[in-house]
Structure 1
Amino acid sequence: MTFDPMAAAIDWLDAYREEDLDLIIAMYADDATVHCNCVGSTIVSGASKLRHYWMVRLRDHPASELLDLNPMENGVRISFATRLGAMSTLLSFNSNGRIVEQNFERSN
């Protein structure tokens, strides 16, 4: 069975929309880094910081509908709606299919 990054990105958005913190955290590699340029600029790495980041994000910026999904050379860009408006994120995966880097930004 081969890893499908597009399907993994949809699974990530589904977990985000369902506010399933444990499933979201399980999707990240142990050494993952999240760059968030949504409101200010934040860089998060480490399991406990990642969990705290997601607890706040789920509370303050829940996701709703999928807006766009595109394969990229280094991962998948997925765009979706939140209370902040349209957001997009680039998800980069390791060979085990876990997220190693994520870059959030507000969409134009």
Structure 2
Amino acid sequence: MNDIDQMGIVVDWLDACRKGDLTTLLDLYADDAELECQCAGAHVYHGRNEIGAYWEPKIGAFSFTGVGLEDISPAPQGIELEYSVAGSLRIRALFGFGDDGKIVHTLCEPARQNPVDCCAC
């Protein structure tokens, strides 16, 4: 039985985004993690260095525009998170975990948007 609090790790991930704390965010990922982003075309980032390069320009903006928790729930392979940026843009992220509690895979994609909002990440 796995005693790792996966939901707590995702909340820590969201808190790091809110604070603009790239170091803490990257510490939640395994060294060989993979991030698959389908927000503006399909792109896959391998390892903490590429994931850091992906997040660096985004995370600073998140701390200014605001990141809101919309929904969080267990999923068959980990945790599903829906969050909003700047109070409107909604993103869906699925997190998978290793036995050590590190994030090994993230898939992000636009969530269903409010009709007046755009749908790009």
The question of 1:88 aligning with 2:92 is answered yes
- The answer to whether 1:105 aligns with 2:106 is no
Q: In the alignment, is the contact (CA less than 8 A) between 2:30 and 2:48 conserved in 1?
A: no
Deviation at 1:80, TM superposition (A): 0.5
Percent same amino acid at aligned positions?
29
CA RMSD of aligned residues (A): 1.7
**In 1, Cα distance between equivalents of 2:33 and 2:89:** 25
Q: TM-score under structure 1 normalisation? A: 0.91
1:54-69 maps to which residues of 2 (within 5 A)? 54-59=55-60, 62=62, 64-69=67-72
* Contiguous gaps of at least 5 residues in structure 1: none
Superposition map of 1:46-61 within 5 A: 46-59=47-60
Q: Distance in 2 between matches of 1:11 and 1:72?
A: 18
SS in 1 for 2:96: strand
Q: For 1:10 and 1:51, locate their aligned partners in 2 and report how far apart those are by CA, in whole Å.
A: 19
User: How does 1:15-94 map onto structure 2 within 5 Å?
Assistant: 15-59=16-60, 62=62, 64-83=67-86, 85-94=89-98
Larger CA deviation: 43-52 vs 18-27? 43-52
Bigger mean CA deviation after superposition, 8-17 or 81-90 = 81-90
Considering fraction of residues, name the structure with more strand. Answer: 1
Greater radius of gyration (CA)? 2
SS at match of 2:36: strand
**Matched position secondary structure for 2:4:** coil
How far apart in 1 are the matches of 2:29 and 2:90?
23
CA deviation profile, 1:2-37 (whole Å, cap 9, x unmatched): 211111111111111111000001100011000001
